[in-house]
Amino acid sequence: MSTLELRYGANPHQGQARLRLPESDAPVRVLNGAPSYINILDALTAWPLVQELSSVTGKASAASFKHLSPAGAAVDGPVSDTFVRSQYLERAPQSAVARAYVRARGADRMSSFGDAVAVSETVSVELAEILRREVSDLILAPAYEPEALEILSAKRGGKYLVLQIDSDFVPDAIESRRVFGLTLEQERNTAPITAELFRSEPPLSEGILETLVVGTTALKYTQSNSVCVAFEGQVIGMGAGQQSRIHCTRIACAKAEKWMLQQHPNVLALEFSAEIGRPEKTNAVDQFLLWDELSTPERDHLVSTLGQEPTPLSQEERRAWFAEFDGLCMSSDAFIPFRDNIDRAAATGVTFVAHTGGSMRDESVRAAAAELGVRVLETGVRCFLH
């Protein structure tokens, strides 16, 4: 085994951090920068997600990871002018890999601040230029266009972490981890998440099937418990790592609502002075959408940022806007135990829910869904990740 020395472990005071690699044909190479323990964990958790999405859908795929869970994930798809404006982009990307990434990062720009990027395809110059302007820590990809590598290697004063992975590498069937000096082993989670899991009568459209695949596959690489809301082939709300499923659902739905509302004409009309950067704009939009919940100092800061007191969106305006997004899908990494998850999802406008099934309360969940016009699909597959 060869060894790649890391800057430090999970925290700066944890030394002797290293990545052990096969003696020959190491699947991961550092092209620029010096990785830390968490950098490697994020990169190596994000890669199989995008690799699997690309394999199943046949499209370029991307993920924006933070702390071992995807803030967003997406496959290539349309990027509207409204979405471009909501993300403070100069224009809609032309390359498939760049489109996949801006859709992935656009799920939750706040959570993607300082992200670990993984993409399934060769990094284009266009994607490198987009990343050059974003606050990001690293990228992992199977290949880079020469000019793209130059651009990324110069980011952050030459410290931006650029990793390359062998897309043909297949890990061992058995994975292990050491906890408190003891070793646990298990088979890797290779359960396929394909459209076949969700086929039912009446048939679902190919677009809904793809969206369910994207959302459910993202859960496979998200710390449990987790619930995901997806739309048109992209994650738009991830609720990760909660002990209660309803809390996962509330987080995922709240993030999905923010994703939709940040494209509302009233939000796009917010004006910022020239010196306000994109992270500050993102934070201001978040505060604007939470105006009624803000403390006085938070409101004062937002007013200072905008130069005037904003007029918040009413509940009626919000509900009307949610209705513009047809085909919202929610996936759960295990069975939904109570109808409250369906009630919360329906309030956001979710019309398709996929979960494992097998709960003693499945009938009450189905009844709630029928009452609220939500279609439930039971996959029989659990996707816990710990």
pLDDT digits 0-9 by tens, 311-349: 999 999 999 999 999 999 999 999 999 999 999 999 999
Supply the mean pLDDT for the chain: 95
Are the CB atoms for 263 and 86 separated by under 8 Å? Answer: yes
| Residues in Cβ contact with 265 at an 8 Å cutoff, skipping those fewer than 6 apart | none
Domains 2-170 and 192-261+319-378 share a fold: yes
- Residue type present at position 16: Q
- Percent of the chain predicted with pLDDT > 70: 99
Homologous superfamily of 2-170 in CATH? AICAR transformylase, duplication domain (3.40.140.20)
pLDDT band (50, 70, 90) for residue 166: very high
pLDDT at 1 > cutoff 90: no
Residue of 32, 225, 283, 341 marked catalytic: 225
Query: Whole-model pTM above 0.75?
Result: yes
pLDDT digits 0-9 by tens, 28-79: 999 999 999 999 999 999 999 999 999 999 999 999 999 999 999 999 999 9
Domain ranges of the chain: 2-170, 192-261+319-378, 269-312
Distance CA 332, CA 316 (A): 28
pLDDT at 20 > cutoff 80: yes
* 67 catalytically annotated: yes
pLDDT at 290 > cutoff 90: yes
Q: Which residues are 140's β-sheet partners? A: 118, 163
Burial class of residue 145 (count of CB atoms within 10 Å of its CB; 0-12, 13-18, 19+): middle
pLDDT band (50, 70, 90) for residue 26: confident
Helical ranges in 154-295 per DSSP H? 206-220, 245-261, 265-268, 278-289
pLDDT at site 154: 97
State residue 33 phi and psi, 5-degree precision: 90, 180
pLDDT digits 0-9 by tens, 94-120: 999 999 999 999 999 999 999 999 999
State residue 114 phi and psi, 5-degree precision: 75, 40
Rounded to the nearest 10 degrees, the angle between the axes of helix 278-289 and helix 245-261 is 110
Sheet with 234-240, side-by-side order of all strands? 28-32, 161-165, 136-141, 115-119, 61-66, 69-75, 234-240, 226-231, 328-332, 350-355, 375-378
Strands (DSSP E) along 7-68, which ranges? 18-21, 28-32, 61-66
pLDDT band (50, 70, 90) for residue 272: confident
pLDDT digits 0-9 by tens, 180-223: 999 999 999 999 999 999 989 999 999 999 999 999 999 999 99
* 386 catalytically annotated: yes
219: three-class secondary structure by DSSP: helix
* 301 catalytically annotated: no
Looking at domain 192-261+319-378, which of 3.40.140.20, 3.30.300.30, 1.10.510.10, 3.40.1050.10 is its CATH number? Answer: 3.40.140.20
Residue of 39, 59, 66, 258 marked catalytic: 66
- Percent of the chain predicted with pLDDT > 90: 92
Lowest mean pLDDT among 54-68, 238-252, 260-274: 260-274
Question: Tokens 């690699």 appear where?
Answer: 21
